[in-house]
Amino acid sequence: MTATNDVEALLPVKLGAGGGVHYAQGIRAGRWVFATGHMGQDFENGMAPDVMNVRAPHSGAPKREKEASLIFDHIEAVLTAGGTELANVVRTDQYYTTVHAVPPYQATRRSRFGALIPPSTSIVEQGFVVPGADINLQAIAVVPEDGFQPEHIHNKDLAGRPTSGYSPALTVGDFVFVPGITSMAQGDEPRRNAVAEAARIEQGMQWGGQSIKLETEFIITNRITPSLALAGATIDDIVKAQIYLSDPDDYSACNDAWIKHFGDNGPALSIIPCATEGLAVIDGKIEINVLAVKSGGATKKEHITAGVETAFQGQVEAVRAGDLLFISGLMASNVTGLVAQAERDPGQPWYSSPATAQAECIIASAEKICQTAGTSLGNAVRIQQFHTDISEFYPVHQAWRRHLPDAALPFAAVHVPHPLPVPGATMLMDIWVYAP
């Protein structure tokens, strides 16, 4: 199936010397508008000169405040081009290079959104594809229609901190968006260094459970489950999840704790590394965000099986819900690890490009899943690329262009810590596709 005419690239630009990178600032797909990978760039110089103000960096507003403001200008331009506005944003994902970028960003976000801040995920990573960028923002919005308008759900026991201010859940039609959740204590819960005591090994003990499993279990049962219940959903209704881990040693233990809750009914899942102390709570090891559908609603959860091998035990290939297809995080791997064509030959190290080979493998797997689901990768609305070597971005983008030569792509390229879950893998892709 080819790309549908219902998918439109919004404000496409060509970047880099010779315009070799084709970037879609946004995508409108039916009733959805996606703005992915936004930084404080001007699309000509890299970071906007007014943001950096290299010769007099402290003569005006702080750099990160100007950066956040320009990013929101870009987001609003995309939303306007897509026929919607900030009031209809249903989710944001923020990546930072430092925790010091969070307060100026959040202050700007509050000034733009007002009291209704959508569910949010904030993660510190190592960098982005534009030098000097400290913030990278993705936003998802809707074009409202009867029965399909954002509704914020408020609950004092599950609310974000006042500095964040986001809603603990939001519904639009049958879809339920829940923000990134950590093991942070709330209200009068017992705590230790801001982490809920129930999510930690007993103080003074050297063993008494695995800390990552305790945190994962706590977040699922004490945070995600009640948040979903506010909107009429259960964990069985989750269609897409992202898990961010600050310790790569926790990959398998976290997944083991996760899949015990789902059996064969798991959501599409990506497990992504983040910086040490890269979450809101210094001692926290994990953050999880989820998207679900309402129990018993017209929008159903459908597993897509195309014969693509996944990296984790129990990880499904993809889930379709309504007009969206969510693909689990893909790496160039099979049951034996990294695919052979993506390995570097030590005797002939410069006769191949492992980055290109990985990208070609991932794109082929994603297209296979799309075809099984009755759609096309040309309908991709959100492509998050997590690289352990950000210098590999360009050969990866060229692989995309060979597959979709005329398309401006809605990508975000994020530099994450090494290693990824599959030894030798240097990129992981999280892809959403329109599937009407």
CATH topology of domain 31-144: 60s Ribosomal Protein L30; Chain: A; (3.30.1330)
CA distance 167 to 177: 10
Q: How far apart are CA 413 and CA 385, in angstroms?
A: 5
Q: Rounded to 10 degrees, what is the CA torsion of 301, 306, 311, 316?
A: 20
Print pLDDT tens along the chain (436 aa).
456 678 999 999 999 999 999 999 999 999 999 999 999 999 999 999 999 999 999 999 999 999 999 999 999 999 999 999 999 999 999 999 999 999 999 999 999 999 999 999 999 999 999 999 999 999 999 999 999 999 999 887 776 666 677 888 999 999 999 999 999 999 999 999 999 999 999 999 989 899 999 999 999 999 999 999 999 999 999 999 999 999 999 999 999 999 999 988 999 999 999 999 999 999 999 999 999 999 999 999 999 999 999 999 999 999 999 999 999 999 999 889 999 999 999 999 999 999 999 999 999 999 999 999 999 999 999 999 999 999 999 999 999 999 999 999 999 999 999 999 999 999 999 999 999 9
pTM of the model: 0.97
**Residue 284: which of 159, 199, 227, 187 has the closest Cα?**
199
CA distance 31 to 29: 6
Question: For residue 286, with 0-12 CB atoms within 10 Å meaning exposed, 13-18 middle and 19 or more buried, which class applies?
Answer: buried
Residue 228's nearest CA partner among 287, 173, 295 is 295
Distance CA 315, CA 252 (A): 12
Provide the token pair at 327: 């693909």
- Mark residue 187 as left, alpha or beta (left: phi above 0; alpha: psi -120 to 50; beta: remaining): left
Q: What is the pLDDT of residue 335?
A: 85
**Using CA atoms, how far apart are residues 118 and 73, in angstroms rounded to an integer?**
17
* CA–CA–CA angle 334, 335, 336 (5° rounding): 90
Burial class of 388 by CB neighbour count within 10 A (0 to 12, 13 to 18, 19+): middle
Residues constituting the chain: 436
- Beta bridge pairs of residue 28: 8, 33
Q: Alpha-carbon distance 319 to 372, whole Å?
A: 11
pLDDT, position 252: 97
Backbone φ and ψ of 257, nearest 5°: -65, -35
Q: In which region does residue 308 sit, left (phi positive, over 0), alpha (psi from -120 to 50) or beta (all else)?
A: beta
What pLDDT shows up at residue 1? 45
Contact 293, 321 (CB under 8 A): yes
Beta strand 195-196 with 175-181 is unpaired
The residue extents of the domains of the chain are 31-144
How many angstroms separate the CA atoms of 116 and 7, rounded? Answer: 28
